[in-house]
Structure 1
Amino acid sequence: MDEHGEYLLRFIYVYVKDWSTAEDILQEVIVAYYLKSHQFESRSSLKTYLSKMAINRCHDHLRSWKNRRIVFSDAMTQWISSSKSTEKTYEHQVVRSDLIKNVMELPITYREAIILYYYQQLTMKEISELLACPENTIKTRLRRAKRLLKNKTDSSEWEGFQDEQI
């Protein structure tokens, strides 16, 4: 928990968009790992194993009847923003908040590809192992997500993505 707890909490939050739900899911993941730690075969890192457990719990939550509302919180903006002067931080938050909002509005398959690739900086291979699907599927999801984001965002926000090849 000390080593991977904060990472997992943020990771789960990206899926469920609610801090209290993310904390509950994190607790479920940690308890499940504690009860079944003997099943961990060390074929991957513990972080990857816990991330996969978290993804499965998030998918379960998103499919459940309890998940009736989706809330975008300013906490996501605070999490991503860096410590700069107040004016620059505000400008950065305004520009990034629209992009973050658009990312969070994507369907879950596209959102998770964008988050894992750009925010978590995982490789295509790592993402494909984590999501248990082929690398080409991940590339397709990223391409489609970028196309959807391009239609929704201002050209100044899009500058970082436009020249990148997937």
Structure 2
Amino acid sequence: MQLTRNEWNHQLDQNDMLEELMSEYGEELTRTAYLYLKDWSLAEDTVQESFIKLYKNLHTFRGDASIKTWVYKILTNTCKDVLRSATMKKVVLGNFFDFKNQTEKSAESTILNNESGRELAGAVLKLPLKYREVIILFYYQSFSTKEISQLLSITESTVRVRLNRGREKLRSLMRRDFDED
């Protein structure tokens, strides 16, 4: 198939835009996908699949929301597709995710932060999906409740309710884990 000059330039622009999006969001998308899927390699595959979908549909982006919100909507929908698939039934919980924002200097505080971070991550991963996804998007990806409502196609009040219930379930899980120790 022969491309015209305009089609060729448009193709290059899309390639550049995709490359920029991959560079800017790839790592945090993978962490988010991991929190959904609980398997690192599956998360990486899902992010790649999301970028393929994004590339194929780049021309449909209307600009109603930010590009970041649109990218995350594609990712969350792809994660949900994977969760519904037969593949997901075989997934086993892998390594816990790493936290980006560790500012403590001493070895002791780093170890304590890592340990409590892993415990919190484990508790987040135990939450039902509807609570886990709003917790992830709000606390780990810093989306506003309005952006989350757009991403998940639910009302903003539903987002707030799920955040509150998710926090309550987290507290309960953390207390139960603490009491067991």
Paired position in structure 1 for 2:12: none
When normalised by structure 1's length, the TM-score is 0.84
Paired position in structure 2 for 1:16: 37
Whichever residue aligns with residue 70 of structure 1, its letter is: V
Counterpart CA distance in 1 for 2:101 and 2:175 is: 19
Secondary structure of 2:80's aligned partner: helix
Counterpart CA distance in 2 for 1:108 and 1:95 is: 22
Whichever residue aligns with residue 94 of structure 1, its letter is: E
Counterpart CA distance in 2 for 1:132 and 1:2 is: 27
Question: Where do 5+ consecutive residues of structure 2 fail to align?
Answer: 1-21
> Any conservation in 2 of the 1:25–1:58 contact (CA below 8 Å)?
yes
* Number of aligned residues: 154
The alignment yields a C-alpha RMSD, in angstroms, of 1.9
Question: Where do 5+ consecutive residues of structure 1 fail to align?
Answer: 158-166
Paired position in structure 1 for 2:92: 70
More helix by share: 2
Cα distance, 1:51 vs structure 2? 0.5
Counterpart CA distance in 2 for 1:88 and 1:101 is: 20
Deviation string for 1:1-41 (max 9, x for gaps)? Answer: 12222222222121112121111111111111212211111
Relative to structure 1, the CA distance from residue 151 to residue 123 in structure 2 (aligned partners, 3 Å threshold; closer, same or farther) is same
The 4+ residue runs of structure 1 with deviation greater than 3 A are none
> 2:111 aligned to 90, 101, 105, which one?
90
> 2:47 aligned to 22, 26, 33, which one?
26
Q: Please say which structure displays the higher CA radius of gyration.
A: 2
When normalised by structure 2's length, the TM-score is 0.78
Secondary structure of 2:87's aligned partner: coil
Secondary structure of 1:42's aligned partner: coil
The answer to whether the aligner puts 1:104 opposite 2:125 as a matched pair is: yes
